[in-house]
Structure formats: C-alpha cells, structure tokens
Amino acid sequence: MRMTCFFTFFLLVVSVLFFSDVYAEDSTQWKLPEGAIARLGKGFICDVQYFRDGRRFAIASSIGVWIHDARTGEALDLLNEQMDRVFSLAFSPDGNMFVSGDDSGEIYLWDAHTGQHKRTFIGHTNGVTSLAFSPDGKTLASVSYDTTVRLWDVQTGELQKTLTAHTGYIHVVTFSPDGNTLATGGGAMDKKLLLWDVQTGELLRTVTEDIDMINSLAYSPDGKLLASGSDDETVRVWDAHTGELHRTLRAHTWFVRSVVFSNDGQTLVSGGADGSIFMWDVHTGQFLNALMAHPYKVFSVAYSPDGKTLVSVGKDEICLWDVRTGQLLKMVRGYRSFTGTVAYSPDGNRLASGGSDGVYIWDVHARQDLQTFTADVTNHPHYQITAVAFAPNGVTVAGGNRGRVYLWDARTGLHLKSWRANNPRTYAKYSPDGSTLAFSSRNNTIFLADLQTGKIKKTLVGPVAKAKVARLEVTSLAYSPDGNLLAAGSTDNTVYLWNMQTFQLAGTLVGHTDIIRSVAFSPNGQTLASGGWKDGTIRLWNPHTQELLRTLPSDTHTVYALAYSPDGKILASTHANATVGLWDPHTGELLRTLAGHTLSVGGIAFSPDGKTLASSSHDATILLWDLTTTVLNE
C-alpha cells in the first residue's frame, strides 16, 4: 500500500514537472504549420467556457481552442486540429468531455483531461454557432448557419434528429435543466425564439414578439425562467413554460451578446457590444452592478463552477472578475480582432500590423506585442486599419482606414499627423526617399502629402467618366524603386501608372477581368505584378512599355496581396483560401504553397534580408515563415 502511494505520488510529481515545462514554452511556437517558425497573436475570440473543475477555461478562437489557467490567465495549450475557425464550445455535465464547432460545420469531441480528439460529428453544411449538452450528457444539440437544429448521440456520434422550423440562421441553443425542452434563438433573417420537445422533436412554442436577432439564451437553474439577449439592446426574461414575457431589462447601448444566470439563480449577467457587463436582480429587475474594463465588445460571459468568478471575453482581451466585489482580477491580452495587413521595419526588428483600433507593433525577435498606435481611430469594424507602412528610415509609421491616414512616431507611438482620406479602404505608401506619403481616396483620387510640411502637395485624379462601377476606388499603391512611377490598382479592373516627375498619367494596364487588389514592383523596377480579385490571376507587366509579360494562373481565387523578395527571385501572393503562394517570377512556376492560416490572408512582407516571410490573416494572426530551410527545398 505504501509503495502504491509512493508510486502515485511519484507519477504526480513527474506529470506536474512535465506539464510545467510544456506550459513554460513560448506559445508562439505551439503547433505551427510546416515551414513556419512563429505565430504572433492568438487569433480572435468567439466563445469562452469554464472546465468543470474551475481551474481552467477554454477559448474558441479563429485558430483553434486555447486552454488557459483560470487563476493566472496563462495559456496552457492550443488544440488546433480543426482546420477552420472555432465558433462555439460546450462541456459535458461530468466535465470529462467538451465539444467545439467550427466554420465548416464540423464538431469535434475532445477529452477534457488529455486534450485528445475523440470523435467528429459531421452533418452541418455551414458554421456551427452554438452547442449544448443535455443534463444527462447523452445528447448533444447543435445549431448552424445552415438553419438546422441537430441532436446527436454523444457515445456513437450518430445523428438522432434534425429539427427544421427556423427560416434563417440560428445563433444559440440551450437545454432546460430537466432536459425535456430545447430552446433555440434565430439570427437576423429569423428573429424567433423556439421551444422544442427533446424526446419527440415537436415544436412546442414559437415566440414571435418583436425581439430582434437573438444572440444568447440562458435558463435559470430551476428551469422556470429563460433569458435572452438581442440586437435591440435589451435583455428579456421569459416564463420558460408558457413563453410569456416577464420583464425587459434596458441599460446597454448596443447589442446584447451574452446572458447568463448565477449558480443560485438570483442574479442575471449580460454582456454587450458596448463593452459593458451588467448584473441584475432576477426577481425585481433591479440594476445591481456594472463591470467596466472592456474597451469594446463583450462577446461572451461565463460563471466559474463555484460561482465566485466571472470570465468575459472582448475584442482583444479576456477579463476575470470577482463576482462578490466586481473587482477585475486579471486581464489577459494577446488576442486580436483583425490583422489583415503587415509591414517590416527597415531594420527587420519590428512588424506593424493593422487592427480595428490602430496599428500593432511587434518585436520580431522577442515575438511579443510591443504597443498599439492609436489616435482618433474609431472603435468600429468599418474603421479597421487597412494599410500600414514604415518610412524608409524607420522613424515613422503610417496607417490608413476608412476615414483617415495617420502618421505616428515609430519609436514612441506619438500621433504626429492625420489627413482625411474618405475612402472605404485607404491605402498608403511612402516614396523611396521618404519625403512623400501617397494615399488613396474616392473617385480614383490619390493624395501626395509632403512629410516635411504635413501639407498635401499634389492631387492625382484618374479617369472617372468611363468607370463601369458604382464606386470607383483606388485599391492598392506601389512606388517603383527609383520613385519615378506610382502604380495604382483600381476597382475598374485597371492599373494606372503615374509619372512622379510630371504628376501626369503615364499609362494604363488593362487585362484583368475584375477588381485589382494588389500591385508590387520588382526590386529592379523592370516588372510590375498585379493581382486580381475574382479573376484570381497574377499578371506581370513591363511598366515602361506597358506590355503584358506573363499571366500566373492562380487557382485559389482572390489574390489579396503581392510582394517581391529583396533579390527579386520570389514573388509571394496571398489568397482568400487562407494560403500563401511562392512563385518564380521569371518562369511563372509555383514553387510552394504555404498553408497554416484559417481565414483569408490579407498581407505579406519579406524581411529586409529575405530570410523570413510574414503573412497576416483575417484570423488575426501573423505567421513567420523560414525561407532558408524547408520552404523552397522540396
């Protein structure tokens, strides 16, 4: 007996030491795709759930499921076997299993103790938006953008029932505490709250009161009440059996994204897209407290199993709260809402990437987020930074969004200057000598800003009259290495070439059959590459004779960005199917496809020495690829 106890203790010590070593590792190195050497950022957050032991919580993100220590907030593991972004999570009542639903419609069943993938539930044809285990743990309910509710046998993975009454996509599903009723909430095209009989699949009740899009549902622990959070900024409390509206709670100023009852059923917590978390007395509807730390949206809120702690997830951060005092215990950062564009500093030590609240600066070698450059960048998804660029001397960094172009001191983050751009997606480029910043505006217009005076020194207006598109926009900019030419891609399928000595239109490149998304000059200035949107082609041109040299037939649809390596031997392209293509621009041969992102890749940049490639994606991560080892040697 004594020997058995000693052996058990020995195994416990070894396992603790082993996991401590694993968890002490740099998370930027975890589970990387082949050829990648680091991942910057943890993706963006979709859902949060506590493990049943209360010691950890799981985050559904755009790159997989992250596991965190609930006390310290430290990242413990990343489960990224699912190839698409993970929307939703649910834990079994006994805490031994959990499930994650992804963008493709697949549901993975995981062992909650080992992180082992046990089973895949396949049937949905679109993203799985919400998951719920029945109270006995035998049935799994799932809802999807495909407008169906599905009930699965957890042990066998077999589909038991498919419920179809919603007329649009479904946001949320939850079981009543007794397991007899299932509640589902519809999205923007449906806006209905439906109650189902779990055993028969019969639709029991349809609540069609004007409740807008339903983002969240929660039963009270006794099963008598059902709370809903909607896009109309309200929390509603219903009689769970009759569907009668008991109470409407109003305090949020934007969408209510999450509702949850406390373990004793006395308090209702709501999280809103306005960044606020409100606590309400369930019986009186009295407002009790406000937890304010998120600068922007609160996507999800969950109680710990012991009811003493709340976890909330926002746009870029996770917050842990003391329920009794309302005190913020811990804020965990590292998640991002958007990373669609990227640029290296001239010395290769930093990376700049665009986000919805400014420009993020990363230390490439330490692989950590250094700071965020902000000005009056509006915290709104339509105002995300769509372009970033370092000055040739590395002293300033520019970022463009829908409304303006911003200039920051790259060392201190001090906001230096901004200009009005008034473009849905503003693109900005420094001239090679660093004296001028070119940025795009509406109606095929480009502004040239003198960086010494801060004034607009020239306005370039391209052809507008013959445009066959409703809104003519400049979609991309590139200076030739000598600074004599400025290339501008446009929504009218044309690349315009401007002479920077005379400021006159020097030529047009016509051949794409859809919007130009990117333009890039080769290092010697003898070739200009352009990437098309829906035509999915990369075209190589002689910018001086305007002759089409070669067409690279990409079969990956949209080409988002292009970049030449410093020696001109590689042309990198990014695509809507989450891949990066590496091409030989002289032969047109596709050298390698880099796969590792889960959403479209919006930005690409070579390090100054050409040894590393950075790709930034709508999954809110940046991958660093080693070009000196396996990438081009297969």
Task: Report pLDDT digits (tens) over 64-87.
Answer: 999 999 988 899 999 999 988 999
- Residues contacting 312, CB < 8 A, separation 6+: 48, 258, 271, 277, 291, 294, 298, 300, 301, 302, 318, 319, 321
Please say if the pLDDT value at position 4 is more than 80: no
Strand order in the sheet with 149-153: 128-133, 139-144, 149-153, 159-163
Number of C-beta neighbours around residue 161 at 10 A: 16
Segment among 360-374, 460-474, 503-517 with least mean pLDDT: 460-474
Please say if the pLDDT value at position 340 is more than 50: yes
Would you call 13 exposed, middle or buried from its count of C-beta atoms within 10 A (0-12, 13-18, 19+)? Answer: exposed
Please say if the pLDDT value at position 25 is more than 60: no
Instruction: Give dist(CA 606, CA 627) in Å, integer.
Output: 10
- Residue 399 tokens read as 């970022």
Would you call 100 exposed, middle or buried from its count of C-beta atoms within 10 A (0-12, 13-18, 19+)? Answer: buried
Q: At 484, give phi and psi (nearest 5°).
A: -85, -20
In Å, how far are 46, 196, 198 from 205, measured between CA atoms? 29, 7, 13
Q: What is the pLDDT of residue 383?
A: 60
- Residue 498 tokens read as 């401007």
- Residue 509 tokens read as 């490149």
pLDDT band at 128 (very low <50, low <70, confident <90, very high): very high
Instruction: Give dist(CA 22, CA 9) in Å, integer.
Output: 20
Give the single-character DSSP code of 28. G
Q: What is the pLDDT of residue 1?
A: 38
Q: What is the pLDDT of residue 462?
A: 81
Q: What is the pLDDT of residue 385?
A: 83
Q: What is the pLDDT of residue 468?
A: 57
Q: What is the pLDDT of residue 451?
A: 94
Q: What is the pTM of this model?
A: 0.87
Q: What is the pLDDT of residue 208?
A: 67
Instruction: Give dist(CA 546, CA 158) in Å, integer.
Output: 60
Condensed to tens digits (0 to 9), the pLDDT of residues 283-329 reads 999 999 999 988 778 888 999 999 999 999 887 788 999 999 999 99
Number of C-beta neighbours around residue 499 at 10 A: 14
Segment among 156-170, 374-388, 410-424 with least mean pLDDT: 374-388
pLDDT band at 466 (very low <50, low <70, confident <90, very high): low
Q: What is the pLDDT of residue 8?
A: 35
Q: What is the pLDDT of residue 335?
A: 80
In Å, how far are 169, 185, 195, 267 from 173, measured between CA atoms? 12, 7, 10, 21
Please say if the pLDDT value at position 375 is more than 70: no
Domain spans, the chain: 342-626
Give the single-character DSSP code of 295. S
Please say if the pLDDT value at position 332 is more than 90: no
Segment among 305-314, 350-359, 604-613 with least mean pLDDT: 350-359
Condensed to tens digits (0 to 9), the pLDDT of residues 472-528 reads 889 999 999 999 999 999 988 999 999 999 999 999 999 999 899 999 999 999 999
Condensed to tens digits (0 to 9), the pLDDT of residues 166-190 reads 888 899 999 999 999 999 998 777 8
Q: What is the pLDDT of residue 12?
A: 34
Average predicted confidence (pLDDT) for the chain = 88
- The pairing of strands 358-363 and 368-373 is antiparallel
53: left (phi over 0), alpha (psi -120 to 50) or beta: alpha
pLDDT band at 46 (very low <50, low <70, confident <90, very high): confident
- Residue 84 tokens read as 């698409």
* pLDDT over 90, % of the chain: 65
Instruction: For 386-542, list the strands marked E by DSSP.
Output: 387-390, 396-400, 404-409, 415-420, 428-430, 436-441, 445-450, 456-461, 474-479, 485-490, 494-499, 504-510, 516-521, 528-532, 537-542
Rounded mean pLDDT of 599-619?
93
Q: What is the pLDDT of residue 210?
A: 65
CATH for 342-626?
2.130.10.10
pLDDT, greater one: 216 or 5: 216
